[in-house]
Structure 1
Amino acid sequence: MESMLFESRDLARTEEFLNRAYTKMQIGGRAADVRTRISRAAAESISIDRIEIGFEMSYDADPLGKVCLCEVASGRITDHATDGWVDEFRPGDLVSFAPADRPFAGKIRRAAYTITMFDPALLTRVTGAGRKDDAAVRLLSHRPHSRTAAHQLSKTIAYLDQVLPNPAVKASPLVLASVSQLLASSVLAAFPNTAFPNTAMTDGADGRDARPPTVRRAVAFIESNLDQAITIADIATAAGVTVRAVQTAFQRHLGTTPLAHLRRLRLAEVRSELQGADPSACTVAEVAARWGFHHHGRMAAAYLDVYGELPSTTLAR
Structure 2
Amino acid sequence: MTERTPTRVQVASQSDDLEVARDFLAEAYAGNEWQADRTDAPFRFGFRAVGDDSMTLRSIRFDGHLSGVMTPSDDFVVQWTTRGRATITAQDDDPIVMEPGRPQLWPQGGAAFDYRDYDQRLVQVNRAALQEVAGERGTAPDALALDHRVRPDDRALQVWQNAVRLISHTVGDGKASPLLQAEMGRLGALALLELYPVVSKTLPDELLLPRNAHLRRAVEYVHEHCHLPITSTDLARVASLSLRALQHAFQRTFDCSPNSYIRRVRLDRVRDDLLAGDPASTSIAEVAKHWGFGHAGRFSASYLQQHGEYPRETLRRAA
Q: TM-score, normalised by structure 1?
A: 0.57
Alpha-carbon distance change, 122 to 83 in structure 1, aligned in 2, over 3 angstroms: farther
**In the alignment, which residue of structure 2 is the partner of 1:182?**
187
Contact 2:38 2:64 in 1 (8 A): no
Alignment of 1:90-169 (within 5 A): 90-99=99-108, 102-128=109-135, 135-165=142-172, 169=176
1:132 is displaced (CA, Å) by: 10
**In the alignment, which residue of structure 2 is the partner of 1:12?**
19
In the alignment, structure 1 segments of 5+ residues that lack a partner are 209-236, 250-317
Distance 2:72 2:265 in 1: 36
Distance 1:118 1:177 in 2: 12
Distance 2:139 2:130 in 1: 16
1:47 is displaced (CA, Å) by: 0.9
Alpha-carbon distance change, 197 to 132 in structure 1, aligned in 2, over 3 angstroms: closer
Distance 2:58 2:289 in 1: 32
Distance 1:188 1:4 in 2: 27
Alpha-carbon distance change, 45 to 8 in structure 1, aligned in 2, over 3 angstroms: same
1:165 is displaced (CA, Å) by: 4.4
**In the alignment, which residue of structure 2 is the partner of 1:267?**
none
Alignment of 1:39-118 (within 5 A): 39-78=48-87, 80-85=88-93, 86-99=95-108, 102-118=109-125
Greater RCO, 1 or 2 (C-alpha within 8 Å, sep 6+)? 1
In the alignment, structure 2 segments of 5+ residues that lack a partner are 1-7, 201-218, 230-261, 268-282, 295-319
Q: TM-score, normalised by structure 2?
A: 0.57
Read off the aligned partner of 1:171 and give its amino acid letter: P
Matching of residue 194 in structure 1 with residue 253 in structure 2 = no
1:137 is displaced (CA, Å) by: 1.2
**In the alignment, which residue of structure 1 is the partner of 2:255?**
none
Distance 2:83 2:288 in 1: 42
- Size of the aligned set, in residue pairs, is 215
Read off the aligned partner of 1:37 and give its amino acid letter: G
Distance 1:43 1:91 in 2: 27
Read off the aligned partner of 1:109 and give its amino acid letter: R
Contact 1:41 1:161 in 2 (8 A): no
What is the DSSP-based 3-state SS (H/G/I as helix, E as strand, rest coil) of the residue aligned with 2:84?
strand
Distance 1:123 1:67 in 2: 8
